[in-house]
Structure 1
Amino acid sequence: MLSSATLSVVRATAPALAEHAQSITKRFYQLMLSEHPELWAYFNPAHQQSGRQSMALANAIVAYATHIENLGVLLPAVELIAQKHCSLGVQPEHYPIVGKYLLRAIRDVLGEAATDDVLTAWGEAYQLLADLLIEREAAIYSEQQSQPGGWKGYRTFVVERKIPECETITSFYLKPADHQSLPEFKPGQYITVKVPPQSTGFRSSEAAATGEIPRGLLSPRNYSLSDQPGKDYFRISVKRESARQEVSPVDGLVSNHLHDGIHEGDRLEIGPPCGEFSIDPVLAARKPLVFVAGGVGMTPLLSMLKTVIAEEPQQPIRFIVLTRNSGSHSHRQELIDLATRCPQLKLHLHYSQPLENDRPGDCFHTQGPVDQNLLKELLATQAAETEYYFCGPSALMQEMISALSGLQIDPSRIHYEFFGPKVALAMA
């Protein structure tokens, strides 16, 4: 626990850190990655260039300062961060490095206001959080390695099948090269794929705004498991991302390599399943469920859906798909087949920009922009105990949160994830 003196200093300086949080985190990444370039292997350069990574860290610092006297509020965030760290192989020895450069960044940005007492207090506050994360991450690593079929670090898998799901999304069926068993995972979790940078055409000249990315370093990528547990394979469904040159010329390097450069029979290095966004099929079977999939956000929700149906085929479920058109609608036939076998599963397909051959009533149910009125109509339900699970891009997730808030849905019944660094999604 922190001393009363330390808490007093943190409380007094928290507003200043909140005001300058993003400047502090930008400076932090500049300092740390320039002096420890080997740490680029833990960061997605596209997220660095776009500013999403620094914004996510800034939000985390503000939340920590706000709740430092009631850390129980932060336990869900601690779990999210710990799972992400374990997916990337973060180790205890990395924490002193992070602490050092975070304090240097605070001093650089706040100037004379960052007195020795202030830096000492924030150093102690940081160490408390670091200790929480190190303890939880040690437990996760132990769980991953000790369960049947589990492993530590990376394991070689073979691409058994490669199946296009739509114009932009392809599924990869992965089996262990050692022919040994696979561990159980929680539906909604992800695995980590490590791709050699030279195979993607990645060049050190494609530098992030915060510094030069060393040749030979490219961070692993997380991809949701899109099938249910208990199979003899892992399935990931990867969207081909287009590079946005004005934001990040390194965007889409790994996804494009998987689509174009990886073929059936090729090998990939895979990390164990991680992630806190999941569903307990036994508990979920007691309540009506609504799933909302925005684009490639379909992937973790499809794993959840198939798992719940396998546990309780009569479970009332509504599955809503929000996508542009049939060209971007992944796993369409798989969903239709599930609904055919399970009458309690009700599909609703919404296309924002239907193609000429997308026929209403056949290919989709509703069309047009995704706005608050549409979401409230789709999300409204008569069952007060309904649980909501949704996943997609951050803009859609904010709209979802606002719509559910407008419907006065208890936040405890709202479960979500979006891809990329976690940022704050406020209840409207």
Structure 2
Amino acid sequence: MLSEQATPVVRATLPAVGGALDEITERFYAGMFAAHPELLRDLFNRGNQATGEQRKALAGSIAAFAGALLENPCTRPDVMLSRIAHKHASLGVTSEQYKVVHEHLFAAIVSVLGEAVTPEVAQAWDEVYWPMANALIALEARLYEERGVAEGQVWQELEIAGRHEETPDTVSFSLRHPDGLPLTAFRPGQYVSVQVELPDGARQIRQYSLSAAPGRPEWRITVKRADGDPAGEVSSWLHAHGRVGDRVGVSVPFGDLVLPEGDGPLLLASAGIGATPMLAMLDHLGRTGSTRPVTVVHADRSPAAHAHREELRRLVDALPQGTLHLWYEEPGTADAHSGRADVTALELPAGLTAYLCGPLPFMRAVRGDLLAAGVAPADVHYEVFGPDLWLGTAA
């Protein structure tokens, strides 16, 4: 909660700070990485830094949090914070690193805004940063405790037990403990981080959804090869070098896009590689004998590009009240629609809970259609691979 003294200062300076956030965050990352190059080498995603997506996500989260404090001073945007906390925990972020961020972020603010950053302004924005940081530290501490690990100690070495070429640019990997120990429990829809050592010595990290149900002796991730360097450096490495018997660093599972308990109707809508968390959810529903109504929507470029296509069909067919609706950009497929996915063409049951995963334009379009159809915003959940550029707008 902002103090009475800070509230008018933040309100008055939010337009200036918000308008300069892109430049502020650019200078912030440049300064922090100059002082701590190991953070870029071994923690932050170099691909997202190169494209600017991480900078945009940070700016969006700061602006959204500050706006939320002003609009609802007695509440916290916990949905947004939970999403960030799960991502941070999957990377092994520690509380000490928030002090490093504070130092370089406020140096960047002063660098960009100059004399406008009076002691009163600096103090007011401290009241934005530290409540957000402390809330995240507390949430991440709870996540570490729930996983039974010390702060930041999320990593384990797992062995690749199986490799399967799903499409020309998508490979699934089965993972197990080299010593046969059971794997950590997880909830359908969660993800793990995978860390690989690249030729330049960097240990880069990417997140991948667990694409099969909990309770199996092995985990499975499905990796689509991304184009470009550094954007695709981890997926390309796994495609080129990940072989049965090799070992990789893998975090314990995290993620807040998980199936709810109960028997209410579900909509699982995905596009491209966004199908992976939905596969785990469907697999779990089938293995537990669920009879709840499940409407599955998937969009892809073509049947050949659709990873796990036949598996998706089998999983939906195994559900007593499961229905599958496919859309492909390539026309002429007998069992699918052509063009973009259109949930308005479907009969959606009342009271459904929707889960979305895929490219941001796909999720925006589906969410908009669902809201127009009367689905409550609180009942539409989503997962984003990479920085969440939707923070504060869809939660």
TM-score, length basis structure 1: 0.86
Alignment CA distance shift 1:196-1:231 (3 Å): same
The AA in structure 1 aligned to 2:46 is P
Deviation at 1:156, TM superposition (A): 1.3
127-136 or 89-98, which deviates more? 127-136
310-319 or 12-21, which deviates more? 310-319
2:129 alignment partner in structure 1: 126
Q: Name the CA distance, whole Å, in 2 between partners of 1:61 and 1:324.
A: 35
Query: How many residues are treated as equivalent by the alignment?
Result: 389
What pairs up with 1:357-372 in 2 under 5 angstroms? 360-361=333-334, 364-368=335-339, 370=340
The AA in structure 2 aligned to 1:175 is R
Secondary structure (helix, strand or coil) at the match of 1:193 reads strand
Q: Name the CA distance, whole Å, in 1 between partners of 2:116 and 2:265.
A: 53
The AA in structure 1 aligned to 2:3 is S
The AA in structure 1 aligned to 2:290 is P
**Quick check: 1:390 aligned with 2:391?**
no
Q: Name the CA distance, whole Å, in 1 between partners of 2:336 and 2:127.
A: 55
Contact 1:169-1:237 at 8 Å conserved across structures: yes
What pairs up with 1:157-306 in 2 under 5 angstroms? 157-198=158-199, 203=200, 216-243=201-228, 249-280=229-260, 282-283=261-262, 286-306=263-283
1:308 alignment partner in structure 2: 285
Secondary structure (helix, strand or coil) at the match of 1:273 reads coil
What pairs up with 1:304-383 in 2 under 5 angstroms? 304-354=281-331, 360-361=333-334, 364-368=335-339, 370=340, 374-378=342-346, 380-381=347-348, 383=349
2:111 alignment partner in structure 1: 108
Deviation at 1:26, TM superposition (A): 1.3
Name the Cα RMSD after superposition: 1.9
1:206 alignment partner in structure 2: none
Secondary structure (helix, strand or coil) at the match of 1:120 reads helix
- Residue deviations 1:115-168, cap 9 Å, x none? 122112212331222111111111111111269xxx943111111110112222
- Tell me, which stretches of 5 or more residues in structure 1 are unaligned? 204-215, 244-248
Deviation at 1:217, TM superposition (A): 2.6
Contact 1:44-1:218 at 8 Å conserved across structures: no
Q: Name the CA distance, whole Å, in 1 between partners of 2:157 and 2:100.
A: 30
After TM superposition, the runs of 4+ consecutive aligned structure 1 residues lying more than 4 A away are none
Secondary structure (helix, strand or coil) at the match of 2:98 reads helix
Q: Name the CA distance, whole Å, in 1 between partners of 2:246 and 2:149.
A: 28
The AA in structure 2 aligned to 1:360 is T
Q: Name the CA distance, whole Å, in 2 between partners of 1:260 and 1:274.
A: 26
Q: Name the CA distance, whole Å, in 1 between partners of 2:171 and 2:78.
A: 35
**Quick check: 1:45 aligned with 2:40?**
no
Secondary structure (helix, strand or coil) at the match of 1:96 reads helix
Secondary structure (helix, strand or coil) at the match of 2:226 reads coil
Q: Name the CA distance, whole Å, in 2 between partners of 1:181 and 1:241.
A: 31
Contact 1:171-1:237 at 8 Å conserved across structures: yes
- Residue deviations 1:162-196, cap 9 Å, x none? 01122221110000112111121011111111101
What pairs up with 1:15-164 in 2 under 5 angstroms? 15-40=15-40, 41-69=42-70, 70=73, 72-145=75-148, 152-164=153-165
Q: Name the CA distance, whole Å, in 2 between partners of 1:339 and 1:83.
A: 29
Deviation at 1:339, TM superposition (A): 3.3
Contact 1:292-1:321 at 8 Å conserved across structures: yes
TM-score, length basis structure 2: 0.93
Deviation at 1:278, TM superposition (A): 1.0
Secondary structure (helix, strand or coil) at the match of 1:236 reads strand
Secondary structure (helix, strand or coil) at the match of 1:4 reads coil
Deviation at 1:73, TM superposition (A): 4.3
The AA in structure 2 aligned to 1:59 is G
Deviation at 1:312, TM superposition (A): 3.7
Deviation at 1:11, TM superposition (A): 2.0
Contact 1:240-1:256 at 8 Å conserved across structures: yes
The AA in structure 2 aligned to 1:219 is Q
Q: Name the CA distance, whole Å, in 2 between partners of 1:7 and 1:275.
A: 33
130-139 or 67-76, which deviates more? 67-76
The AA in structure 2 aligned to 1:402 is G
- Tell me, which stretches of 5 or more residues in structure 2 are unaligned? none
**Quick check: 1:410 aligned with 2:395?**
no
1:209 alignment partner in structure 2: none
Q: Name the CA distance, whole Å, in 2 between partners of 1:413 and 1:43.
A: 31
Secondary structure (helix, strand or coil) at the match of 2:167 reads coil
Q: Report the identity percentage.
A: 36
Q: Name the CA distance, whole Å, in 1 between partners of 2:27 and 2:139.
A: 28
